[in-house]
Structure 1
Amino acid sequence: MDQTSNKPDAGALRRARILGGPLFRTLLSLGITTIAVLIAQTVVGVLETWYVSFLGTDSLVGVSLVFPISMLMTMMSNGGIGGGVASAVARAIGGGKRREADALVLHAIVVAVALGCLFTILAWCYGPELYAALGGRGPGLAAAVTYSNYVFAGAIPVWIVNLLCAALRGSGNVKIPAITTFAGALVLIPLSPLLIFGVGAVPGLGIAGAGIAVSLYYSIAAVALLVYMARGHAGLVLTRASLNRRFFSDILRVGALSSIGALQLNLMVVLLTAVVGRFGQAALAGYGIASRLDYVLIPLLFGLGTAVLTVVGTCMGAGDIARARRATWLGIAMGAGFTQIIGLVVAIHPPVWLGLFTHDTAAAHFGGLYLRTIAPLYGLVGVSFILSFAAQGIGRPFWTILGGTARLLIAAGGGWLAVNQLGGGMGTLSAFVAAGTVGSALVCAATMVPKRIWTRVEV
């Protein structure tokens, strides 16, 4: 009974800190834990790629082919639909509507199950054709299909975990998502090599073991989160409630548009992967390793971006638009600064990243060419990313989607034409990707400056 009576107090304290605490400290406290644990999760992903590299080039190519699709699911569940969940919860709490925030949890689970089923069915039915279209051939294609089947077998748990964590972050509770992610890192670091290579009586499953490890972790994490939230320990409470079209609409109105942004980014990677495949397997492996660094920026930008979303959403719900704007521009300065430093280091010395995964001269050449062109612009990636999260917090992500559209058209569309119609090489393709990055940042900034976008959206 005492615990139940204290829960509103904890939630009220979090709300008060978001609405009245020092902005820099508030963003840092909300973002730093998420950043730290997602970096740990990224390290696990890097280690998994390293483990798979011992299985040979074919397995490495297989993982590279599946990676854009698995990242699409991760980004849609975390920053796409997950952004819609976090935005709806943040605005409900900012407006003092605690019961509606709790009801949104059940609606998020329903959405998670539906979309998880969809990803599993699509991957199992159409995965082989997709990976072949991306340039997969022979053993590399077989490895991709095997890995994909096991990874997407756990799609429903992935969606449940990510949407529940998004709801908690939207409420200002970063502790439980952090614990969940740290637990995943601690489980997967020993579990992946155990299932990939085998130890003692445990047989090595090869690339299938890597996919099984991921699905096992998310299945366990999903059950643990559901039980924990049903018992009311997380602040937000999973309770029985009548399904309400308005709540689904509020999640999907923001989440569907935000998912288009995630789809655009991953479609760009898929299309670029297909174009790079024309240069051969070495180019495909080199590009796959180099472009993975783009995703390594996500823990930093996602952690800070979700903090911006929470503050902006809560402030918009409470009617404090000026504070929401200040939080956005401060978040941009922080995100762009950190990512630019990373980009400059890698651009100056690409082997600091490429050397972790390959010593193949040809693959390193193609990967280095890409990084020397793209990495110096990572700060602009930060600008676009943080602005997209701020737009989710407002409840109006449409305009920042235009930035992603510009990037897709310039990088993938222009790059494809340059290579296939004009005979351009990897350097030309990288230049178009760089131009798309610049275009995206300019469009996002231009659409978020006008004051008319900073108006309250009712939950």
Structure 2
Amino acid sequence: MHAPIPPNPLLVDPILPTLTRLSLPNMISMLAIALVAVAETAYVGLLGTAPLAAMALVFPMVMLQQTMSAGAMGGGISSAISRALGAGLMQRAEAVAFHATVIGLGAGLAMFIAFLAGGPWIYRILGGSGDVLGQALLYSNTIFFGAVSIWLTNTFASIVRGGGNMKVPSATLLVAAALQVVLGGALGLGLGPFPRLGMLGIGLGQVIAFTAAALFLAGYLMSSRARVRLSFSQKLSREIFFDILRVGGIASLSSVQTVLTVLIVTALVSRFGDEALAGYGIGARLEFLLIPIVFAVGVACVPMVGMAVGSGNIPRARSVAWTGGLLAAIIVGVVGIVVALAPDLWGKLFTTNEAVLAAARSYFAWAGPTYFFFGLGLCLYFASQGAGKIIGPVLAQSVRLITVALGGWWLTATNAPVWQMFALVGIAMVVYGLAAAAAVYFVRWGKLA
């Protein structure tokens, strides 16, 4: 007689310890990726003012690609795989892995073509001209030349996470981040035997690092070590494409809205002068570093929620969502309270200009206490991906965008002071968190066909 197969730990183990165990590897790798952006900014700063301005133009597009491939579509992939595993359908999980690879390849090619052809128009709209535009195009064309590698890396990582394994993708991304820092600095600044390639070299560092990561993860998924194996002897199925895209495709709208929100706030604050804009930039930089923390908890929620939904255990799925949401909210909420009470702990890392520090203090005083709601909303967005019920949290992001756009228009029309603009950012975070919580609370979760 064969010994009985033990139950999947993600379906039976205590929720909070399991979430913590799954989140920690993700948190380390995501923070490393965030710190790469800081290192690259330092490299570009050494190249001159025009390259630094060029990077500011391209950065929102790089962030859009990362959030779409890792968070939005990646969540849809992990959700479909974990729900299949929860229902005991291994063949379907492996079919999802193949279809996800096709989507990642197609999306990477589409982004490469879109930014190669439309880059000049996009960066002119954002204010680029002259040498700044030329540097932006050089950096953008290099980065998006590697779009397929970035999409496939995040696709493969999401497949592995869907099976409940967080260590392999986290370790791979951590190594890729280190490689990107080393290669970007060496090729961009001409360190050691390498030529000084400027923005081209910094972009190549990312392309090479993610290409290596994609190849490693592909090899892992095709080996016997992977729980869900990648096989190319699959037939294409419209239904499986739909299962991934009805979560990942809709979730991608949230990524677009996030970038639009950042661009709108930046444009609104810029009318108050360089000091106010720099102060807001200091605050936005901290928020950028907080997103990986929420992402780490959120992507741990996806397979736990997905497997629970796939097995029909909806109460456990909801408990995972609320536990993860509160965990992420408390972590970033504590950070928000600290910077609201002692903003110079963060602000003086970047400047000693008193006018800029005053703007940063004002921003943190209004936005810091609302980070709790931002963390709650973003984590519930990921948990909803696991359940396959993503429309509500995406609409919550829409409400945030509308709040910023309409509120900003009204404040501009009434010549309101800059602190009211910062207060609007905080209000929008509260609205987002409450709307996402309402979506999870009121929307019925059930086992999907």
Partner of 2:72: 80
> Does the CA-based 8 Å contact 1:312-1:394 persist in structure 2?
yes
Contact conserved, 1:86 with 1:166, CA < 8 A, in 2? yes
Partner of 1:438: 430
Structure 1 pair 328–348 and aligned structure 2 pair: CA distance change class (3 A): same
Three-state SS of the structure 2 residue aligned to 1:396 is coil
- Count of residues in correspondence between the two structures: 445
Match status 1:418 vs 2:448 = no
Partner of 1:454 in structure 2?
445
User: 2:128, 2:287 → 1: CA distance?
Assistant: 22
Match of 2:402 in 1: 409
Q: Which runs of 5+ in 1 are unaligned?
A: 1-8
Percent identity of equivalent pairs: 36
* TM-score normalised according to structure 2 size: 0.93
Q: How far apart are residue 257 of structure 1 and its match?
A: 1.2
Report the CA distance shift for 1:393/1:288 in structure 2 as closer, same or farther (over 3 A).
same
Which moves more between the two structures, 164-173 or 201-210? 201-210
Q: Give the residue type in structure 2 aligned to 1:266.
A: V
Matching residue of 2:236: 243
Q: Does 1:156 align with 2:143?
A: no
CA contact (8 A) 1:134 1:270 kept: no
Code of the aligned partner of 1:192:
G
> What is the CA-CA distance between 1:85 and the residue it aligns to?
0.4
User: How many Å separate the matches in 2 of 1:56 and 1:363?
Assistant: 21
Match of 2:284 in 1: 291
- Structure 2: stretches of 5+ with no match in the other structure: none
Match of 1:334 among 327, 351, 354: 327
Matched with 2:174 is 182
Matched, 1:195 2:187: yes
Counterpart in 2 of 1:273? 266
Structure 2 CA distance for aligned equivalents of residues 213 and 46 of structure 1: 14
> Which of 359, 368, 373 lines up with 1:375 in the alignment?
368
How does 1:64-75 map onto structure 2 within 5 Å?
64-75=56-67
Rounded to whole Å, the distance in 2 between the matches of 1:270 and 1:442 is: 23
Specify whether residues 344 and 63 from structure 1 end up closer, same or farther in structure 2 by C-alpha distance, changes over 3 A only: farther
Matched, 1:132 2:131: no
Q: Deviations over 1:190-248 (max 9, x none)?
A: 22211221124322222332211111111111122212212332221111200111110
Distance 1:330 1:257, change over 3 A: same
Q: Deviations over 1:160-190 (max 9, x none)?
A: 0101111111110112101211111221232
1:169 maps to what in 2?
161
Aligned counterpart for 1:25 among listed residues 17, 39, 44: 17
Judge which range, 118-127 or 336-345, deviates more.
Answer: 118-127
Opposite residue 130 of structure 1, the aligned amino acid is I
* CA–CA separation in structure 2 for the residues paired with 1:279 and 1:140: 23
Task: Note if contact 1:135-1:274 (Cα within 8 Å) is conserved in structure 2.
Answer: no
Residue 252 to residue 187, structure 1, CA distance change in 2 (3 Å): same
1:343 aligns with 336
Two-structure CA RMSD over aligned residues (Å): 2.1
Which of 374, 396, 409 lines up with 2:389 in the alignment? 396
2:334 maps to amino acid: I
Question: For 1:371-427, what per-residue CA distance to the aligned partner results, in whole angstroms no more than 9, with x for missing partners?
Answer: 3322221111111011111211111101111210110001133214422x3333532
For residues 95 and 67 of structure 1, the distance between their equivalents in structure 2, rounded to whole angstroms, comes to: 40
- More moved, 193-202 vs 356-365: 356-365
One-letter amino acid matched to 1:383: L
Distance in 1, matches of 2:364 and 2:131, equals 28
CA contact (8 A) 1:61 1:285 kept: no
Q: Which amino acid aligns with 1:455?
A: G
Asked if the contact 2:282/2:347 (under 8 Å) is kept, the reply is: yes
Distance 1:115 1:127, change over 3 A: same
Letter paired with 2:99? H
The residue identity in structure 1 corresponding to 2:143 is V
Give the Cα–Cα distance (whole angstroms) in 2 for the partners of residues 318 and 382 of structure 1: 28
- TM-score w.r.t. structure 1 length? 0.91
Distance 1:424 1:331, change over 3 A: same
The answer (yes or no) to whether the contact 2:370–2:427 under 8 Å persists in 1 is no
Correspondent of 2:220 among 224, 228, 231: 228
Instruction: Provide the rounded CA distance (Å) in 2 between the counterparts of 1:234 and 1:399.
Output: 33
CA distance in 1, matches of 2:346, 2:102: 40
Name the CA distance, whole Å, in 2 between partners of 1:283 and 1:152: 32
Displacement, 1:364? 4.6
Q: CA deviation at 1:318?
A: 0.4
Give the distance between the partners of 1:456 and 1:84, measured in 2 at CA. Answer: 16
Distance 1:306 1:449 in 2: 20
Who is 2:99 aligned against? 107
Distance 1:423 1:142, change over 3 A: farther
**Pair 352,58 (structure 1): closer, same or farther in 2 beyond 3 Å:** farther
Letter in 2 for 1:443: A
Residue 273 to residue 184, structure 1, CA distance change in 2 (3 Å): same
Distance 1:277 1:338, change over 3 A: same
Q: Does 1:41 align with 2:37?
A: no
Q: What SS does structure 1 have at the residue aligned with 2:303? A: helix
- Cα distance, 1:151–1:360 mapped onto 2, change above 3 Å: farther
Cα 1:360/1:115, change in 2 over 3 Å = farther
* CA deviation after TM superposition for structure 1 residue 121, in Å: 1.8
Q: CA deviation at 1:147?
A: 2.0
